[in-house]
Amino acid sequence: MTRLPIAFAAMLLASTSAFAADLYVEPDPQPVAPAFGGFYLRGHLGMSNQQLGSLEHTLFDDVEIHEFLDEGGFDSAPLAGIGVGYQFNDWLRADAFVEYRGDASFSALDRYGHTGAAGTVWDGTNDYSGTKSEWLLMANAYVDVGHWYGITPYVGAGIGASRNTISHFKDVNVPTAGVSYGDTASTWNFAWALHAGLAYQVTDRMTLDLGYSYMNLGDAKTGDLKAYDGSVTNEPMHFKDITSHDIKLGFRYSLQ
């Protein structure tokens, strides 16, 4: 007599479970933020590898013979920048940044002379030294050329302005026991750059960036050159066609 109610109860329980299963609806997945589009913040640290096109001064033309034994160059120097950008779609973005480029030591060596009865007579040398730094403002556009396992190669270009500063400039002429110096001076120049690199997306918002930039920073100059005793003042020394190969490690943080 008790088996029927038990069987009935089991059937009822199974029916209720099936009905409940029919009523269960898979919840909609949480909306995922788009991978591209929106503003981002950026920052980077790096090192410069700088070159000088030429060192020029009117006095070089006032001697009969002048030549550089060391045409001059800059040591590497640290750099750091911050900026803001916008990702338009999955392949195009743009940003602007301000960058400080630290003091890079400079050195060069020349000699000058005249033609004598026995040939060239060397009258003296000039051992040049100083430091250079810049503030750089740059607007850039980039093209992302694909996405593989979170890695995105890119290329880009930029234009802007560079405030080039020459300081601690000295000219030591050992044979003649002469020394002159130039006051610190800054000049603004048009600047342009070419970029390439690899970006790795760490999270939905954070991207690491290993980049290379070829920078053309324009020219720079010292203040007026003065003899150590103030007896002679000449026009500034000119640094022409300053370029740099920069390596940078940075990040981009999406604000979307």
Is 168 inside any structural domain? yes
Within a domain: residue 4?
no
Query: For position 9, what pLDDT does the model report?
Result: 45
Predicted pLDDT of residue 149: 87
Sign of the C-alpha dihedral, residues 215, 218, 223, 224? Answer: positive
Instruction: Write down the pLDDT at residue 31.
Output: 42
**Can you give the pLDDT at residue 87?**
94
Q: Which residue has the higher pLDDT, 176 or 253?
A: 253
The 3-state DSSP class for residue 28 equals: coil
Report the helix count and the strand count for the chain, using DSSP H and E: 1, 13
Distance from C-alpha of 211 to C-alpha of 153, rounded to nearest angstrom: 10
Maximum average pLDDT range among 26-30, 41-45, 86-90, 177-181: 41-45
Q: Can you read off the two tokens belonging to residue 235? A: 């026009």
CA distances 115 to 61, 109, 111, 112, 123, Å, are 15, 20, 13, 11, 10
Whole-number percent of the chain with pLDDT over 70? 86
Q: Is residue 24 part of a domain?
A: no
Burial class (CB in 10 A: 0-12, 13-18, 19+), 140: buried
User: In which domain, by residue range, is 220 found?
Assistant: 36-254
Number of Cβ within a 10 Å radius of residue 244: 22
Check: CB of residue 251 under 8 Å from CB of residue 205: no
Gap between the Cα atoms of 141 and 154, Å rounded: 10
Higher pLDDT, 162 or 37: 162
Place of tokens 């001076």: 185
d(CA 203, CA 184): 45
> Based on the number of CB atoms within 10 Å of its own CB, is 24 exposed (0-12), middle (13-18) or buried (19 or more)?
exposed
Residue 56's pLDDT is what? 94
Poorest-pLDDT segment among 49-63, 82-96, 135-149, 227-241: 227-241
Q: Render pLDDT for 142-178 as a digit per residue (tens, 0 to 9).
A: 999 988 888 999 999 999 999 999 999 999 998 888 8
Q: Kindly report the CA angle at 36 between 32 and 40, in degrees rounded to 5?
A: 105
CATH number (domain holding residue 66): 2.40.160.20
What is the pLDDT at residue 150?
A: 86
Asked if residue 192 is part of any domain, the answer here is yes
**What is the number of structural domains in the chain?**
1
User: Is residue 156 situated within a structural domain?
Assistant: yes
In a domain? residue 169: yes
Mean pLDDT of 50-58: 94
Residue 28 lies inside a defined structural domain of this protein: no
Average pLDDT over residues 43-72: 94
Q: Which amino acid is at 182?
A: G
184-210: average pLDDT: 96
Q: How confident is the model at residue 10 (pLDDT cuts 50, 70, 90)?
A: very low
Please give the average per-residue pLDDT across 101-116, as a whole number.
Answer: 95
For the beta carbon of residue 211, count every other beta carbon within 10 angstroms.
Answer: 19
- The more confidently predicted of residues 119 and 77 is 77
Is the confidence at residue 92, as pLDDT, over 80?
Answer: yes
65 is a domain residue: yes
* Amino acid occupying residue 1: M
* pLDDT at residue 26 greater than cutoff 60: no
